[in-house]
Structure 1
Amino acid sequence: MEDHKIVQRNIALQREWYGEPLGDRVRRLVVAFDVSQAYLAEVLGISAPMLSQVMSGRRAKIGNPVVLARLIMLERKVLTPEVAAGSAAAIRAALEDVRAARPTVSRDSLPVGVVPDEQTVFAALREIAEEESLLDAADRLDTDFPAIADLLRRAGKVT
């Protein structure tokens, strides 16, 4: 199989397994945490070349479930108010927490293919922040991350 076809197949598999290409997920984390791809790889516990291969589609999956768990942990930490607001101290602390984490992984702790509905996401956001804080965070993120800002605004509207 040609390299291009292998990459396309792997990216399609990533969409199926992870909901979207891993390159998209990793790039969002690089931007959100303002770190290099190599540093993010270190935090996740994977080599920089391996992360690059997964991002480019030359590899289809993250073979180590602990690395995947750390990736998910970082994605969740992006939504904490301090990190979302861009606090350098909060960003450093989040990265160090994930780097030091030794998550246990079982088939019950990482549901595959389960995407929470918006109301579940909104409820989770409302548990960690007040309506006003969600709306303030949305205003701060609007220019650089309009999709996240929209999500926070909708979560901040109590119905």
Structure 2
Amino acid sequence: MSVAEGTVVRNRALQTEWYGEPLGDRVRRLLDRLGLSQSGLANVLGLSAPMLSQLMSGQRAKISNPAVLHRLLAVEEFAADPAFDGLTAAGVKERLREISAESAAATTGLRAATSDRVAAGRARRDRAPDGRMEDDRRVASESAARLVQALLREVASAAEIDDAAALIDERFPELAELLRVYGNGRTSEAEAHFARTIGAYLAAPSVQPPPVE
């Protein structure tokens, strides 16, 4: 195996750990579902077409811009919505235009976007069969867990996250666990943790999450 081939194998393994599966697999499903070219999706995400190609091929491992990851998750949620099949081409284009204008640079923006998606998920649940309700909740939970993971890993290295968790472990063990699970754990562990702690809010329309100061 050449050095370049080894790098691709390593990067795809990292993508599976960080994002649940290689980005090439996730993006190709979106391209088929949306009927977009790579360059068209790159424009929606706010990436250059060559950069998206490198992420898909495993030449690059990480989506370094949180806003790009935010848009990718938004596009995935849009494509998974049961109402997608009933949209016109113009409707799809307009929603993608809206997503392309979204930003995850500010914490307040992230909170607002999360609230909007929870509300949208509840609205879909009200009109969808039971099986689709469960799928919607699962997709929303997994997407949110991956977003938290990406944000932590963007601002700190694995060693820094471990050090921070060790500093607060004695007084704030639950917070230390959160740092370790989302900062250095596997994506499946983060998704399971999110489902245990926040999943109830997605499942029950009468239950409201605690207010954000």
- Structure 2-normalised TM-score? 0.50
Residue segments in structure 1 that go unaligned for 5+ positions in a row? 111-122, 135-159
Output the amino acid matched with 2:50. P
User: Aligned partners of 2:96 and 2:90: how far apart in 1?
Assistant: 10
More helix by share: 2
User: Aligned partners of 2:18 and 2:6: how far apart in 1?
Assistant: 18
User: Aligned partners of 2:57 and 2:102: how far apart in 1?
Assistant: 26
Give the percent of matched residue pairs that are identical in Structure 1 and Structure 2. 45
Are 1:93 and 2:94 an aligned pair?
yes
2:129 to 128, 131, 135: 131
Partner of 1:11: 12
- Structure 1-normalised TM-score? 0.66
- Deviation per residue, 1:114-143 (Å, 9 max, x gap): xxxxxxxxx8585263339x6xxxxxxxxx
Residue segments in structure 2 that go unaligned for 5+ positions in a row? 112-120, 133-213
Q: How many residues align?
A: 119
Question: Does structure 2 retain, via aligned residues, the 8 Å contact 1:77–1:83?
Answer: yes
Query: Secondary structure of the residue that 1:63 maps to in structure 2?
Result: coil
Question: Does structure 1 retain, via aligned residues, the 8 Å contact 2:70–2:103?
Answer: no
Partner of 2:170: none
Question: Does structure 2 retain, via aligned residues, the 8 Å contact 1:11–1:57?
Answer: yes
Greater Rg by CA: 2
Change (3 A) 1:104 1:24: same
User: Aligned partners of 2:71 and 2:57: how far apart in 1?
Assistant: 20
Question: Does structure 2 retain, via aligned residues, the 8 Å contact 1:8–1:57?
Answer: yes
Change (3 A) 1:35 1:128: farther
